[in-house]
Chains A and B, each alone.
Chain A
Amino acid sequence: MRKVSKEDLTKKRLSLRVPTKIPAKLFLEDSPHKNIYISDLSIGGVSFFIKEEDFSLDVFELEFKLAIFLKAMRIKVAVKNKTKTPQGLRIGCAFLHPKESEKNLISDYICKFINFYAIFNTLGLASFLCLIDGLWRVSAYFIELIYEVTKYNTSAYEFILKDPYLFFLIVYISSSALAFIFTSIPKTLKEEKRIFVGIAFLSISFLFLLFKNINYWKMDLSLFSLEFLTLLLGAEFFLLLFLGFSIFIGLVSKKRVELILSSIDTHYSFLYK
């Protein structure tokens, strides 16, 4: 039985290992040597099981694909441990000098597996929808402005000053655009704060949308057909709910984001730098 060192335990805790069953080819001096299945994958390495009990290789190449449409990657690995299990011999390997693109692909695969990206995709989608919402509102505002300027010869400046709504619209669009940028997927722990700045911007958009939704219920909407009203109020209410939901998800995922990013950081700093 292999003795488990304190260092090994630390590694296991930090490692974002995901269980997989990825077919891989073991290459020795550029020629295929054996077909195996990768049983778990982390940013730092892989493990697999083999039937035979005498596995003498120390360094070899492993070729595998993380998705059907991706190019197969061949990475040099070094055997770190061998453990006898009822399923066979478990070989734990560490990647040796993988390329930056390969590191990113593996990191992406793991993040997708643990649903890490879902938080940022939700926040991104919510801010993007707010941005679209803001753009049609500003278009409507400018149509009204053009009408007033053309029909009544009002100066555009006068019209803008008369109604400060354009200022609120600009704040709404800017905060949605900034939230869209700031909530993009972080790669390191240093970028973690950026996400919460993004959530703060998204909260401004939420307040604007909340105010608009309340206003719709107070307004006289008899000008519109019932179908149009259902569509408009339904879409606006859905956007408000989705925005609130994504902000909530972003806030409650703070600890998880921190943990995952610190784990990714630790791996990068220990294994690749």
Chain B
Amino acid sequence: MRKYILIFLMGVYLAGFIYFLLKLKTPFKDTFIRFLDKDIIYLNDGRVIEGWLWDEENREVAAGKDIRGGLFVVSASEYREVRKNVFLAKLKTIR
């Protein structure tokens, strides 16, 4: 009986995994990658900006695109913390 439960579980898991891999060949891939590498900027006044930071040489400002599609530029003195690739970092920590 347990053999069948195990085969069923592995079968469902593999089917889900293959479905996910196939889905990565569609525009879902970009959505998924963007979801994984979303950054969070914690401003000094308590506000939070969720978006994607551009890789800047200049460390004096944090600039990027927020989740609504607007652009933002925040000077280093205005934010207290930047967390990059938040969801990915969470996965790495708990896996």
Residues of A near any B CB (own CB < 8 A):
124, 128, 131, 135, 137, 139-144, 146-147, 150-151, 165, 177, 180-181, 184, 216, 219-221, 223-224, 232
Contact = CB atoms under 8 A, between A and B. Distances in A.
26 contacts: A135-B9, A135-B13, A140-B91, A140-B94, A140-B95, A141-B95, A142-B17, A144-B91, A147-B33, A147-B36, A150-B33, A177-B6, A180-B2, A180-B6, A181-B3, A184-B1, A184-B2, A220-B93, A221-B93, A223-B83, A223-B89, A223-B90, A223-B93, A224-B90, A224-B93, A232-B94
A128 to B, nearest CB: 8
B37 A150 contact: no
A223 B29 contact: no
B59 interface: no
A150 to B, nearest CB: 6
A232 to B, nearest CB: 6
Contacts of A216: 94
Interface of A is mostly: helix
Contacts, number: 51
B94 A181 contact: no
Contacts of A131: 6, 9
Nearest to B83: A223
Given A128-B5, A135-B13, A177-B6, 4 more contacts: A147-B36, A216-B94, A223-B93, A224-B93
A143 B17 CA distance: 10
Contacts of A124: 2
Contacts of B36: 143, 147
Contacts of A151: 33, 37
Given A150-B33, A184-B2, A223-B83, A144 B90 contact: no
A144 B90 CA distance: 11
